Amino acid sequence: MFPLFFSGRGRKVAIFLKLALTLLGLGLAGNLAGAALSCALRRLSSLSRWPSVAAGAACLGYLAAGLAVLLGEGTHVVVLPMFHPLGGFSLSLDPLAAFFLCVIGLVGVAASLFGQGYLRHLKGRDLGSVGAWYNLFLLSMALVVTGANAVTFLFFWEGMALSSYFLVVSKKEDPAARQAGFVYLVMAHLGTACLVVLFLWPAAQIHSLAFARMAILWPGLPAGEKTILFLLALVGFGSKAGMVPLHVWLPRAHPAAPSQVSALMSGVMLKVAIYGLLRVVFTFLGVGPVWWGLLVLGLGVVSALLGVLYALMEHDLKRLLAYHSVENIGIILMGVGVALLARSLHLPALLMIGLLAALYHILNHAVFKGLLFLGSGSVAQATGTGDMEKMGGLIHRMPWTAGGFLVGAAAISALPPLNGFASEWLTFQALFGLGYHPVAWWSGLAGTLGVAALALTGGLAAACFIKAYGVTFLALPRSRAAEKAAEVPRSMNLGAGILAASCFVLGLFPSRVAAVLRPAVAALGGPHPPPPGSFFTLASGMGGASLSPLLLAAILVVLLLATRFWSGRMPERLSATWGCGGTLGATSEYNATSFAKPFRIAFAFLFRPVREINSGYEVSPFFRHSLHYRGEIRFLFEEYLYEPVRSFLLELADRFRQVQSGNLRTYLAYLFLTLLALLAVNNKWL
């Protein structure tokens, strides 16, 4: 695209780095200003747009800084003053960090733009604190990905959890939000605990918390230790990324936050966790045994399938989207898994394709999931509910929102020529590549089974978005609120519009995107030569397969126009929908529950649905005066893993609490016995 950047090294790179750092600094300052502003403006709701403006400006800075580094290819380290024996905060902007900074920036700009209009109409939330935490959230994410040592990383990692926690519970009178926030915070903290061990334990041997030193010295650690570190990274980052079975917080927390925050949490924060995983596993740990890759691939498959299946059963729009995040994290992990396997098996071309697939899907998911969450926010604002069963027909009342959501739905369903297709195509290529390279029968089988799982996931995701879109936007409105809904302000649609446009751009120019991603792939140890493909096409590493969405789009457009022209415009007569002779109302429509029912039956082995029908009748069961139906599914991990552990621990705690019995003499006896025991040990009796 810009050959200039690839040819001229040296001075130009330096200029770009300086530019990048300046922009990053401006971005950070913007966030801080936003936070300060919103604290200062707590009472003045008419000015509540300014924190969002500051955040948007900051995100532009992030985006520009990230792009500058990706195009200029360089790394720069900044050390911030902090007097502490653990060392100060230090930041480094290498291509990998820059890529993630781009993701943060891109979605952040859109979300902030959306937030300006959205926040003003938010009810039951304290706007000042939402604005402040929103800015701090963006700030921490940017600093997590640019953090160059463990202290910086962990500090802002926890800061990211804390600020997003406050955003999740910002609807402070809602008990569900509070519960969600709690679960989120605890899961995040458990993950952080793993990360603390991950970073600090080896530091005892390598005597450094700097990432640069880790990258040099970790590969020399004993294999057993590296395995533990790998597992710690997987659990620590996986719990934040929403990897099954550590995903339980995600469908609770994401819907509770304001929608532009949900967009950031789902679209960006989960990716920050993936960033950590990539950073640690690829740049620190060195080449690992084959089963690492298999494990990641397996977890990816399970996450993708369970995520999409639970999404199908969900009738709350934002919860549905949250489950889809689990699914997409699974798809990303498939790419990562293939890359890991390829690294262990010494297949550089496949390594590159796997990494490229993962990074590309990270970017794409951020964009389309952000778009979908923003759309759901618009819908929620217009109808006052997130329950799909109370929506319908919104395409007539909110055409722009409906259009944006359709783009997102098509993209997440991997329909060509949108961006979701490009990255899923790459993931397919990576998986096929694993199947093709004759290392061993099991690696091949793993790859092709991944293909099948990805195919099933894709099909189910499409079904789920047919449901989501059809029930929310099409047919007749199912409630008064949906009847009265009106289009949201322009700034909100503009935010969504940026992301919708990105869906097209990222989908139509995959080879350009791949070229920009190249430094990031190289930073992860992928081979240095640029990915094959010409201007139009993205080629797989395996064989001659290549993808040219632009050409495809051209064919499609030509065909569409030709068909349109050919079929012409016949006189059209409007009439009622055929209702077998009766009139159809909203109650006779297919709704989300009925749409999902075949899936519930087909996957009953997983959902184990519970159905309860209570009908009230007086004379005969044929003349009912009331009918109560309740159908729900049971959640595997909640029921068999989390709930038993939770109740066991609390039971144990409850038993133990009896030691504080209230009796003074008992207390003195504790003291006495402690003393006697210590004396006995000192006498070598014990």
Partner 1 sequence: MSFLAGLLLLPLLTAGLLYVVPDHRWVGGIAAGGSLATLAAGLAVVVRVFGGGPWRAGFFYVDALGAFMVGCIVGVAALANLYSHGYFHRSLGDGSLSLQRFRGYHLWFQVFVASMLLVVTVANLGVMWAAMEATTLASAFLVGFSGSQGALEASWKYIVICTVGITLALFGVILTYYASFHLRGPGVPSLDWLTLRDEAGELNPGLLRLGFIFILVGFGTKVGLAPMHTWLPDAHSQAPSPVSGLLSGVLLPTALYGVLRFHLLLVKDLGPAYSSHLLLLFGLVSMGVAVPFILLQGELKRLLAYSSLEHMGVVTFAVGLGTRLAFYGAALQLLAHALAKSLLFFCAGNIMEKYGTQKLPKIAGLVGTLPWTGPIFLLMVLAVAGMPPFGLFLSELTILRAGFAGGAAMVTVIFLFLLAAVFAGLAFYAGRVALGKAGSNVPRGEPVRWFPYLSLAPLLALLFLGLGIPGPLTAGLSQVAAVLGGVTP
Partner 2 sequence: MALTWLVIQTALYLALAPLVLGYIKKAKAYLQGRRGPDIRQPYRDLVKLWHKETVTSRTASWITRAAPLILFATTLAAAVLLPTISLASAVYLRYGDILTVIYLLATGSFFLALAGLDAGSAFGGMGSSRESLLAALLEPGILLALSVPVLTAGSTSIRRLVGASLSPAVLLLPAHLLALGAVFLAAIAETGRIPVDNPDTHLELTMIHEGMFLEYTGRPLALLNWAVQVRQLLVLTVVANLFFPWGLALVPQPVSLGLAGAVYLGKLLLLGGGLALVESVYAKLRLFRAPGFLWAISFLGLLALVSRYLFRGAH
Partner 3 sequence: MVNLVGSLSVLMLLCALSLVALRRYNSSIVAVSLQSLLLAVATALVAHAMGNREGYLAAILTLAVKAVAIPFILHWVKGRTDSGGGPPLKELSPGWALLVAGLVVILAYQSASPVTALGGVLIRASFPQAMSILLLGLFILIVRRSALLQIIGLLVMENGLYLSALTATGGMPVVVEMGMFLDLLVGVLIMGVFSSRIVGAFRSLDTDRLHKLKG
Binding site for partner 1 (CB under 8 A): 80-86, 88-89, 126, 129, 151, 154-156, 158-159, 161-162, 169, 172-173, 175, 177-178, 181-182, 185-186, 189-190, 193, 196-197, 200-201, 203-204, 207, 209, 649-650, 652-654, 656-657, 659-660, 664, 666-668, 670-671, 674-675, 678-679, 682
For the four alpha carbons of 46, 48, 54 and 60, in that order, the dihedral sign comes to negative
656 binds, among partner 2, partner 3, partner 1, none (CB under 5 to 8 A by kind): partner 1
Give whichever of 632 and 638 is closer to partner 1, judged by the CB atom.
638
Site string for partner 2, 451-490 (x = CB under 8 A): xxx-xx-xxx-xx-xxx-xxx-xxxx--------------
- Cα 30 from Cα 507, distance rounded (Å): 31
Of the ranges 341-349, 353-361, 388-396, 520-528, which one interacts with partner 2 (CB under 8 A)? Answer: 388-396
CB 414 within 8 A of CB 304: no
Burial class, 650, CB count within 10 angstroms (exposed 0-12 / middle 13-18 / buried 19+): exposed
Which residues pair with residue 149 across a beta bridge?
210
Identify which range of 152-160, 178-186, 353-361, 597-605 contacts partner 2 by CB under 8 A.
Answer: 597-605
Shortest Å, Cβ 132 to partner 1: 10
Specify the stretch interacting with partner 2 by CB under 8 A; choose among 8-16, 202-210, 315-323, 573-581: 573-581
- Residue 629, exposed/middle/buried by CB under 10 A (0-12, 13-18, 19+)? exposed
Q: Is 566 exposed, middle or buried (0-12, 13-18, 19+ CB in 10 A)?
A: exposed
Find out whether 350 and 420 touch, Cβ atoms under 8 Å. Answer: no
Q: How far is the CB of 650 from partner 3 (least distance, A)?
A: 14
Is residue 258 a contact partner of residue 115, using CB atoms and an 8 Å limit? yes
Cβ atoms of residues 642 and 183 within 8 Å: no
> Which of partner 1, partner 3, partner 2, none does residue 216 bind (CB under 5 to 8 Å by kind)?
none
Identify which of 270, 295, 310 has the alpha carbon closest to the alpha carbon of residue 457: 310
CA proximity to 96, closest of 525, 531, 521: 521
613 binds, among partner 2, partner 1, partner 3, none (CB under 5 to 8 A by kind): none
Find which of partner 1, partner 3, partner 2, none residue 636 binds, CB within 5 to 8 Å per kind: none
- Using the rule CB under 8 A, which residue among 6, 182, 291, 599 binds partner 2? 599
Please report whether residue 573 would count as binding partner 2 according to CB under 8 A: yes
Residue 482 to residue 305: CA distance in whole angstroms: 32
Tell me how far, at minimum, the Cβ of 652 lies from partner 3, in Å: 15
| Minimum separation from the CB atom of position 429 to partner 1 (A) | 41
Residue 178 binds which one of partner 3, partner 1, partner 2, none, with CB within 5 to 8 A depending on kind? partner 1
* Site of interaction with partner 3 (CB under 8 A): 657, 660-665, 668-669, 671-672, 675-676, 679-680, 682-683, 685
What are the residues whose beta carbons fall under 8 Å from the beta carbon of 219, sequence distance 6 or more? 284, 285, 286, 287
Does position 46 interact with partner 2 (CB under 8 A)? The reply is no
Q: Give the span between the Cα atoms of 586 and 620, in whole angstroms.
A: 28
Residue placing its CB nearer to partner 1 in the complex, 184 or 368:
184
Q: Compute the least distance from the CB of residue 644 to partner 3, in Å.
A: 24
Question: Of the listed pieces 13-21, 380-388, 435-443, 648-656, which binds partner 2 according to CB under 8 A?
Answer: 435-443
Sign of CA dihedral 662, 664, 666, 668: positive
